[in-house]
Amino acid sequence: MEFNILKNISEQIESLCLILNNNRFSLKQFCDNLSDRWHLTTKEFLRNTIKTQKFQLHTDIKYNERKLKQHTSLLEKTQNSRELVLADIPKIIEKKNLILMSIETKQDLEKLLNRLEIIYNLTISGLNHIEHFLMNTTIEQMNYLLISTFYYSIIKLYENGENVLFKQLTTYLDSENNDATTIAFDVLKNISKLEEHAFEDLLNMCKQHIKKFI
């Protein structure tokens, strides 16, 4: 709903500026200032969207941390182990030595736990980085189509990131089922693609803008 409102305002501003530029050239500076202010408003909207997603994610993580769980029950096929999710990995790592004492193949499990800790940290860091990336990205040359793509990509990334962090940890431990790990790495890949696509889109738009003055 909110983004539909932005779409309507964007289209109206573009139409207004087109009419004024064609009929009142003296108002060109006014149109440029209006467009600049609107782009800043849109950027702030995207920033607040990211902040909202971040707040919800970290609230869910904090809520999960407050739950009473037996983190050493990782390898047990019980309800306790099924309650564990990837977001529990920091506490599991803290109790790693207790878990490793109960099994013979310590080295393999230790490598797996370290791998899961890396996936967890990369997912959290990647999602947190999106806001920094946005604030250092020039969106003045972005049209509505690019901004909308950027918006929906951000929403999807946070949804997928939350799915990764709150997926049952046992699904990551199953050597015959790599779907969970694949999904986790897809999220990390898509975070990188978001930046890459935004850069490519801006580069193409800048090239088109330059061509108009050649």
24 is a domain residue: no
Query: Does the pLDDT of residue 9 top 70, yes or no?
Result: yes
pLDDT value of residue 190 = 82
| 3-state SS, residue 195 | helix
**Residue 37 within any structural domain of the chain:** no
Gap between the Cα atoms of 17 and 30, Å rounded: 9
- Among 65, 7, 42, 208, CA closest to 139: 42
* pLDDT (mean) for 90-118: 78
pLDDT band at 32 (very low <50, low <70, confident <90, very high): confident
Domain that holds residue 168: 43-211
Residue 33, in any domain of the structure: no
User: Do the domain assignments include residue 23?
Assistant: no
Threshold 0.95, pTM exceeds: no
Cα(78)–Cα(44) distance, integer angstroms: 47
Whether residue 27 lies inside any domain: the answer is no
Question: Total domain count for the chain?
Answer: 1
- Cβ atoms of residues 161 and 123 within 8 Å: yes
Question: Is residue 35 situated within a structural domain?
Answer: no
Is position 38 within any domain?
A: no
Among candidates 189, 166, 210, which has minimal Cα distance to 59?
166
Helix ranges (H only) for the chain are 2-23, 28-66, 79-82, 89-94, 96-100, 106-135, 144-165, 169-173, 179-211
Note the pLDDT tens digit of each residue in 171-203.
Answer: 887 655 566 677 777 887 887 777 777 777 767
The answer to whether residue 107 sits within a structural domain is: yes
